Amino acid sequence: MDTLKRDVVSPQWHQWHSIEWSVVSARVRRLQARIAKAAKECDWRKVRQLQRLITKSTSAKALAVKRVAANRGHKTPGVDGQLWSTPEAKWAALRTLDSKGYKAKPLRRIHIPKANGGKRPLGIPTMRDRAMQALYLLALEPVSETTADLNSYGFRPHRSTQDAMMQCCNALSRPHSPQWIMEADIRGCFDNISHEWLLKNIPLDRKVLKQWLKAGFVDMRTLFPTEAGTPQGGIISPVLSNMALDGLEKMLKEHFPRRSKVNFVRYADDFIVTATKVEELEKAKHLTRQFLKERGLELSEQKTRLTHISEGFDFLGWTFRKFNSKWSMTPSKDSQKRIYAKVRDIVRKHRTSSQGVLIAALIPVLRGWGYYHKHVASSRIFSKLDHKIWQLLWRWAKRRHPSKGRRWIKNRYWSKIRGRDWVFNDGQFQLFLLSRIRLTRHLKIRAEANPYDPEFEEYFEGRVRRWMAEHAVTKTSRLWMAQLGKCPICTDRIDLQTKWDIHHKVWKVNGGGDEDANLALVHVNCHKQIHARGCTKWPPAWLKTQA
């Protein structure tokens, strides 16, 4: 403990790019593991002590600044208009993360489109407020992961919608599985969580938490107060909402015997509950209402319904159904309609664009949707969508050349490549075909797995290795495997949540090539640090000093 208390700025750290990230990550990781252990043992006094220690740690503050300065929203300012876009700004920000005298500023309200055509309000905190939330999240997340419901999958590290999908399969696909499902949705979950409940039950500094909850928001240059809910857009908000809903699974299990086969699967504020009889689901619905009422929440009557498995139900973009005792999981009709509408809009938008530009716009959309659904029975749907997209592209091509014949248009835009005819390509780019995706079964995460428990370290490394082998570009995957999944600069893991760059050990301006032996997979911030220090040799000199 004494060595950790002396977590002050190293005398060698005189600027942002001089920070030794391997040392920083190791210090914070050790503290988080101790917090998770104390939470597992229900030693809440020790949890509070360790949380205070980590929020005052310079290493944790550096990681918090690094996170908000490198995530997707780092170019979006808050109400103060400030951005941390330079190393000098980040270094100065490191000194401002202190809870003493801290006062959160209001959020900048924007509205983003929803899938159903509506608008979702989103609050943009200032950079300093984001960094403070990231700092306290380092202290809170080990607790939330230790106490979370076993089958909660939304906004949690290393968990995904595919894990929730496989849990639905495990609970409902067997011959003697329960037949009734309650599809539930919480009305305005983020906007209505009780502040009083959060302040009373979330194990975090209450003064700081209250600042975020009561900060208000600015919309059309008018300040509005917030009396309930968590700030949508805040880094810590998903964890707060998850912790507000944690305990629902345990409560339901306690009120029903095993023969009722009550299963619970939740992703964010959407969840399902299974049972053998519809009467048991009515009781579960009543218990759920009582549980949510304590937290200022209620079920959405429009989206909450009881369904027999033979009718099927939609969850997270998939349709689950058992027909004549045969279990099926397929992309939902709504999901198919949305991807087709999105592709159609892209084609219309690029009426006058070149073929290469159109292909470049379509590839990420098709690849993302296809890989999302590659773990369910999608073969026929993929082929059907490929045909419908071909029809869109054929109309696009005919419109461009109304006076040309069909054979000329076909030869102009489609080719025969490796025995496959009608390949939409311009010689450089080739359209991604959904039907070429190889379907695989997703391996669900262990329900009890905790990324902050050293016991599961090897388990999570194996999962990340498997994911990279399936999804990464071949060269990226080879580099990741050779480095054992770790960044050689900061020694922290390169996984699904982090961004990475490929660094040339001998710079290309100095004659370095693109062969694997001259490449290293590093984090984006670490890559910037290498070039800011002008390290033209590998390994960088300061790594030897750290070792």
Structure confidence by residue, pLDDT tens digits, 396-441: 999 999 999 999 999 999 999 888 899 999 888 899 999 999 999 9
pLDDT tens per residue across span 138-177: 999 999 999 999 999 999 998 999 999 999 999 999 999 9
For each of the domains in the chain, give its residue range(s) and CATH number, in order of start: 16-147 (no CATH), 148-193+228-328 (3.30.70.270), 333-436 (no CATH), 454-543 (no CATH)
Say if CB 282 and CB 305 are below 8 A apart.
no
Look up residue 129 and give its two tokens.
């407020």
The residue-averaged pLDDT of 47-61 equals: 95
Query: Do residues 182 and 272 make contact, with C-beta atoms less than 8 angstroms apart?
Result: yes
Q: What is the pLDDT of residue 296?
A: 94
Q: Find where tokens 């809170």 sit.
A: 140
Find the farthest-apart pair of alpha carbons in the chain and give their distance in angstroms, rounded: 82
Instruction: Give the separation between CA 335 and CA 316, rounded to whole angstroms.
Output: 9
In whole angstroms, what is the distance from residue 185 CA to residue 199 CA? 24
What pLDDT score does 544 carry? 54
The reported pLDDT for the residue numbered 1 is 42
- 368 confidence band (pLDDT: 50, 70, 90): very high
pTM: 0.86
Arithmetic mean of pLDDT over the chain: 89
pLDDT tens digit string along 448-497? 999 999 899 888 878 877 777 776 667 777 888 888 888 888 888 887 66
458 token code pair? 């090897």
For residues 92-120, average pLDDT = 83
The tens digit of pLDDT for each residue in 260-315 reads: 999 999 999 999 999 999 999 999 999 999 999 999 999 988 889 999 999 999 99
Q: What is the mean pLDDT of residues 367-379?
A: 95
Q: Which residues contact 469 (CB under 8 A, 6 or more apart)?
A: 477, 481
- Residue 133 in 3-state DSSP? helix
Backbone phi, psi, residue 179, to 5°: -105, -15
Instruction: Cite the beta strand spans of 375-493 per DSSP E.
Output: 414-417, 420-424
Q: What pLDDT shows up at residue 497?
A: 66
* Cα first-last separation, the chain: 22
Tens of pLDDT along 334-357? 999 999 999 999 999 999 999 999
| Rounded Cα distance, 86 and 127, in Å | 13
Sign of torsion over alpha carbons 518, 520, 525, 530: negative
The SS3 assignment for 354 reads: coil
416's CB contacts (< 8 A; 6+ apart) are: 422, 423
- Are residues 413 and 355 in contact, defined by beta-carbon separation less than 8 angstroms? yes
- What are 3-51's pLDDT values in tens digits? 444 454 454 677 888 888 878 888 999 999 999 999 999 999 999 999 9
Structure tokens at 255: 């009120």
| Nearest residue to 160 via CA among 382, 494, 442, 468 | 442
Please give the Cα distance from 83 to 91 (Å, whole number). 13
Confidence check: pLDDT of 547 > 60: no
Question: How far is residue 332's CA from residue 319's CA, in Å, rounded to a whole number?
Answer: 5
Q: Which of 118-132, 387-401, 494-508, 520-534 has the highest mean pLDDT?
A: 387-401
Q: What is the pLDDT of residues 523-540, one digit of tens each?
A: 888 888 888 877 777 888
The alpha carbon torsion through 369, 371, 376, 381 (nearest 10 deg) reads: 50
If you search the block for the tokens 């696909």, which residue do you land on?
Answer: 173
φ, ψ of residue 247 to 5 degrees: the values are: 110, -15
What's the CA gap between 326 and 142, in Å, rounded?
Answer: 40
Of 100-114, 189-203, 492-506, least confident by mean pLDDT is: 492-506
Residue with tokens 């059309």: 220
pLDDT at residue 530 in the model = 85
Among residues 495, 452, 453, the alpha carbon closest in space to that of 472 is found at 495
Quote the pLDDT of residue 356.
93
Mean pLDDT throughout 372-376?
96
Q: Mapping DSSP to helix (H, G, I), strand (E, B) and coil, where does residue 427 land?
A: coil
In the three-class reduction of DSSP (H, G, I as helix; E, B as strand; rest coil), residue 318 is classed as strand
For the stretch 250-270, pLDDT in tens is 999 999 999 999 999 999 999
- How far is the C-alpha of 239 from the C-alpha of 154, rounded, in Å? 9
Task: Render 56-73 in DSSP notation, one character per residue.
Answer: T-HHHHHHHHHHHTTSTT
Task: State which H helix or E strand residue 389 sits in.
Answer: helix 379-400
